[in-house]
Amino acid sequence: MIFRNRSLARLGAAALLATGGLAVTATPAYAEDTKADLEVTVAGTTLAEGATEKVGWLKVKNNGPGTPAALKVGVDLAGVYDERIFSVPLGQDCELEDAAKFVCAVPADAIPGPGETLEYPVLTIKDVEGTDGGESKVRFFLASADDTTPDNNHKDITLQFEGEPGVDLGVVVPDVKTRPDGSPLYAGDDALVFGEIINQGDTIAKGVEFKLQLPKDVAFTEQYEGCEYSADAGTATCRDEAIVVDPQTILLIQFPVKVGAGVQAPVTLPAGSLAADALGVAEPGSPEARGARTTTLENARLVNKGERITDVDPTDNMDDFAVVVAAKGGAGGGGEGDGDGDGPGLPVTGPQAGLMGGIGVAVLLAGGVMFLVARRRRIVLVSPGDEKPTA
**DSSP label at residue 360:** I
CA distance 139 to 388: 46
Phi first, then psi: what are they for 262, rounded to 5°?
A: -90, 5
Which among 241, 170, 242 has a CA at the least distance from the CA of 200?
Answer: 170
**DSSP label at residue 41:** E
- Which helix (H) or strand (E) segment holds residue 9: the answer is helix 6-17
Q: How many residues does the chain have?
A: 391
- Which helix (H) or strand (E) segment holds residue 253: the answer is strand 249-259
Q: What is the pLDDT of residue 381?
A: 52
Q: What is the pLDDT of residue 379?
A: 52
- pLDDT per position as a tens digit, 227-253: 899 999 999 999 888 888 888 788 888
With H, G, I as helix, E, B as strand and everything else as coil, classify residue 8: helix
pLDDT at residue 336 is higher than 50: no
pTM for the whole structure: 0.77
More confident residue, 256 or 370: 256
With H, G, I as helix, E, B as strand and everything else as coil, classify residue 373: helix
CA distance 226 to 207: 12
Q: Lowest-pLDDT range, 238-252, 292-306, 312-326?
A: 292-306
Q: Is 143 exposed, middle or buried (0-12, 13-18, 19+ CB in 10 A)?
A: middle
pLDDT at residue 29 is higher than 80: no
pLDDT at residue 104 is higher than 70: yes
Report residue 41's pLDDT band, with 50, 70 and 90 as the boundaries. Answer: very high
Radius of gyration, CA atoms only, the chain:
21
- pLDDT per position as a tens digit, 140-160: 999 999 999 999 999 999 999
With H, G, I as helix, E, B as strand and everything else as coil, classify residue 27: coil
For 373, residues 6+ apart whose C-beta sits below 8 A from its C-beta are 53, 55, 123, 361
- Enumerate the β-bridge partners of residue 189: none
Highest mean pLDDT: which range of 188-197, 278-287, 288-297: 188-197
DSSP string, 288-331: HHHTTTT---TTPPEESTTSPPPPS-GGGSEEEEEEEEPPTTSS
Q: What is the pLDDT of residue 166?
A: 92
CA distance 52 to 8: 13
Domains recognised in the chain with CATH numbers: 6-22+32-159 (2.60.40.1510), 169-390 (2.60.40.680)
For 388, residues 6+ apart whose C-beta sits below 8 A from its C-beta are 224, 225
For 379, residues 6+ apart whose C-beta sits below 8 A from its C-beta are 249, 250, 252, 354, 357
> Which region, left, alpha or beta, applies to residue 288 given φ > 0 means left and ψ of -120 to 50 means alpha?
alpha
285 C-beta neighbours (distance < 10 Å), count: 8
- pLDDT per position as a tens digit, 262-271: 999 999 999 9
Highest mean pLDDT: which range of 29-38, 89-98, 115-124, 364-373: 115-124
Side chain identity, residue 157: I
